[in-house]
């Protein structure tokens, strides 16, 4: 089972938590828990990997809500008992090419 499949499984089992930062960002950006679950459970793609992140290994996932709102969600690796949602946002096309690649 790949990392993305393990993340989806944790989401489906509700074995996840939000960091304080992710809670703040979800409120500011009007991103509900249901939208996060939709984006991570459906067609999603791991677009960046941060194995050496200072707070622990994490990755960035691109997913879409059922209403096709694109979301970037950074979360911990699924090896933790609870997957941690670190931050979340709608990709800014001034910063991203096709929502998958950062502009350099």
Alpha-carbon distance of 53 to 32, in angstroms, equals 26
pLDDT at 97: 83
Contact 75, 63 (CB under 8 A): no
Look up the pTM and report it: 0.93
pLDDT at 53: 92
DSSP string covering 33-91: HHHHHHHHHSSEEEEEEETT-TTS-EEEEEEE-TT--EEEEEEE-TTSSSEEEEEEEPP
Alpha-carbon distance of 36 to 82, in angstroms, equals 15
* Residues in the chain, pLDDT under 50: none
Half-sphere exposure (Cβ direction) of 6: Cα atoms closer than 13 Å: 14
């Amino acid at each position: 089972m790949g990392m993305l499949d393990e993340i989806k499984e944790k989401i489906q089992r509700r074995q996840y938590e939000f960091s304080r930062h992710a809670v703040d960002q979800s409120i500011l950006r009007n991103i509900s828990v249901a939208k996060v679950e939709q984006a991570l459970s459906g067609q999603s793609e791991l677009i960046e990997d941060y194995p050496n992140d200072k707070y622990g290994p994490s990755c960035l996932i691109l997913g879409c809500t059922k209403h096709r709102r694109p979301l970037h969600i950074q979360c911990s690796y699924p090896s933790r008992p609870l997957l941690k949602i670190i931050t979340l946002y709608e990709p800014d096309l001034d910063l991203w090419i096709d929502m998958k690649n950062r502009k350099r």
